[in-house]
Structure 1
Amino acid sequence: MADGEPKSKNADLPVRFVSAIVMIAIAGVAFWLGGWWWASFVAIVAGGVMSEWHRLSSAIAQSLAGKAVWLVAGLAYLMLASLTLVILRWDGTGYWLFALVLSVIGVDVGAYFMGRAIGGPKIAPKISPSKTWAGLFGGVLGAFVALLGAETVSTVLIMQQHGASGSEWAWRTIEGNWLWTLAAGAVIAVVAQAGDFFESWMKRRAGVKDSSNLIPGHGGLFDRTDGLIAVSALFAIIQLVGGVL
């Protein structure tokens, strides 16, 4: 997603807004229902992204072997991300999934507004001309605020159930975990932006603007989930490595 876009590119803002509301509503209902509803939703989205991945990679790879490598890599990448999203909701509360998704949204929002307000040097203009270092910094702050908010609300709710003061435990959460939360926000922001850069690179190599035109005003599913997929895949890898070690 772009850090900040010129006003001329916001002409379709009403369409983008309506599409965003519909996407959030569908995802929200699936998340609320949980179980197989959520798993089915993730599977459908992953299938759509895989279709777009195949479209892009087919335009990039020249040989049959190259296309096969891209296909296997895409399946592994999306499987790691999808399993993470399903498992994190399967625990009944979905707190970690909520925190993960909220942090990626925080990255996008923070990067957009900071990049638009400050601008400045580009990170990799040949891959994604709109991405700036200021936007990345805004993404780190956005993820930090999102994670801190999720932690605080969760702690307050738990402690209130035990008769403790909500404001007291909210402060203790902020005071005790803010440094780790900032570090986690930085990692999430960098990985989410890397996922965005990777998809932008794929589109440039394939010679297309969007991964598809499935979502009015937003492009394709891959366009909307590139950062979340990267962060979710990394989460899965960390869990796998941690289990082995």
Structure 2
Amino acid sequence: MVDAERPRKRDRIKTYVTVPLSVRTSDLPRRAGSAVVMLAISGTALWLGGIVWTLFVAAVAIGVYFEWSVLVLLFREKGTRRNLWRVFGAIYCAIGAAVLIALRDSQAGIFSVLMLLGAVIGTDVFAYFSGRTFGGPKIAPRISPSKTWAGLIGGAFGASLVMWLLIVTMGEGNRVYIDWTVGGVLALLAAGSATAIVAQAGDFFESWMKRRAGVKDSGRLLPGHGGLFDRVDGLLSVSIAIGAVFMISRVIGAS
């Protein structure tokens, strides 16, 4: 017998609760502490350069590939498909590492690596705060429920801001200057936006892999951040994109 006083499912009113910003950012102290340690280690390796930077990048790439392999083992694919995923992961990590090593050895050296790292970090930080502050529509809730359009816009602004700060402080010594015309400002914003989009794409790709594997994080090495892959997913995708642009430009220039 149906209770007439009980509201039907379609007539029930959904209640939405606004989560305070302090709760949404409760993991910030732990994330910040881990970030400081990571920046200190990577910054020292970058400053020393040479074999130290090469070994550091190689160690991170190997760690990321290990986490990649663990995720693949949790996929449903077996046999050849699983091996193809492993091969693709090795190529993916190797290209990203090679680009980072090549940038440090280039004429711009530290400046070029800082531009890349700074833009990706600016994307992550500003996307984190703007996404949690403003919320709003999700980009791809089935893949990564926490990523919003507000976060992506904030990330694009953050990448552009960090790139501008680096050019202002270090650009003159590396023959890089800000063109304050409308075209120059738009070019800077376009570079920041492209970095944010590619970095977020790398983040989504890793999130998609984790969903297929049925895990929340790629590892537990970094408190508040998860694993190495969780931390450098955006950096890897941007590095690979830079490598692709460089190769295409070389081919076009040679033709």
User: Which category describes the TM-score, using the shorter chain as reference length?
Assistant: 0.7 to 0.9
Q: C-alpha separation between the residues in 2 aligned to 1:67 and 1:26?
A: 34
Q: Which amino acid aligns with 2:194?
A: V
Q: Which residue pairs with 1:107 in the alignment?
A: 123
Q: C-alpha separation between the residues in 2 aligned to 1:206 and 1:7?
A: 31
* TM-score calculated relative to the size of structure 2: 0.84
Aligned Cα RMSD in Å? 2.2
Question: What displacement does 1:14 show?
Answer: 3.8
Q: Which residue pairs with 1:144 in the alignment?
A: 160
Q: Would you say 1:80 and 2:95 are equivalent positions? A: yes
Q: Which residue pairs with 2:6 in the alignment?
A: none
Cα gap change, 1:86 to 1:5, in 2 (>3 Å): farther
Q: Which amino acid aligns with 2:49?
A: G
Q: C-alpha separation between the residues in 2 aligned to 1:174 and 1:147?
A: 14
Cα gap change, 1:181 to 1:10, in 2 (>3 Å): closer
Q: Which residue pairs with 1:196 in the alignment?
A: 203
Q: Which amino acid aligns with 1:35?
A: G
Matches within 5 A, 1:147-166: 147-157=163-173
Q: Name whichever structure is richer in helix by fraction.
A: 1
The number of aligned residues is 232
Q: C-alpha separation between the residues in 1 aligned to 2:187 and 2:212?
A: 37
Q: Which residue pairs with 1:240 in the alignment?
A: 247
Q: Which amino acid aligns with 2:197?
A: V
After superposition, give the CA deviation of every residue in 1:65-102 in whole Å (9 maximum; x if it has no partner).
01111011111111111011001011263211110110
Q: Which residue pairs with 1:40 in the alignment?
A: 55
Structure of greater Rg: 2
Q: Which residue pairs with 1:165 in the alignment?
A: none
Give % identity. 47
Question: What displacement does 1:5 show?
Answer: 10
Q: Which residue pairs with 1:122 in the alignment?
A: 138
Cα gap change, 1:97 to 1:199, in 2 (>3 Å): same
Cα gap change, 1:242 to 1:128, in 2 (>3 Å): same
Q: Which residue pairs with 2:149 in the alignment?
A: 133
Cα gap change, 1:154 to 1:177, in 2 (>3 Å): farther
Q: C-alpha separation between the residues in 1 aligned to 2:76 and 2:237?
A: 22
Q: Which residue pairs with 2:223 in the alignment?
A: 216
Q: C-alpha separation between the residues in 2 aligned to 1:5 and 1:40?
A: 43
Gaps spanning 5+ residues in structure 1: where? Answer: 160-168
Aligned-partner SS, 2:119: helix
Q: Which residue pairs with 1:231 in the alignment?
A: 238
Aligned-partner SS, 1:60: coil
Cα gap change, 1:151 to 1:201, in 2 (>3 Å): same
Question: What displacement does 1:155 show?
Answer: 3.4
Q: Which amino acid aligns with 1:49?
A: V
Q: Which amino acid aligns with 2:75?
A: I
* TM-score calculated relative to the size of structure 1: 0.87
Q: Which residue pairs with 2:188 in the alignment?
A: 181
Q: Is residue 148–residue 178 contact of structure 1 (8 Å, CA) maintained in 2?
A: no
Gaps spanning 5+ residues in structure 2: where? Answer: 1-18
Q: Is residue 24–residue 132 contact of structure 2 (8 Å, CA) maintained in 1?
A: no
Cα gap change, 1:32 to 1:49, in 2 (>3 Å): same
Q: C-alpha separation between the residues in 2 aligned to 1:231 and 1:117?
A: 26
Q: Would you say 1:16 and 2:31 are equivalent positions? A: yes
Q: C-alpha separation between the residues in 2 aligned to 1:181 and 1:77?
A: 27
Q: C-alpha separation between the residues in 1 aligned to 2:63 and 2:121?
A: 20
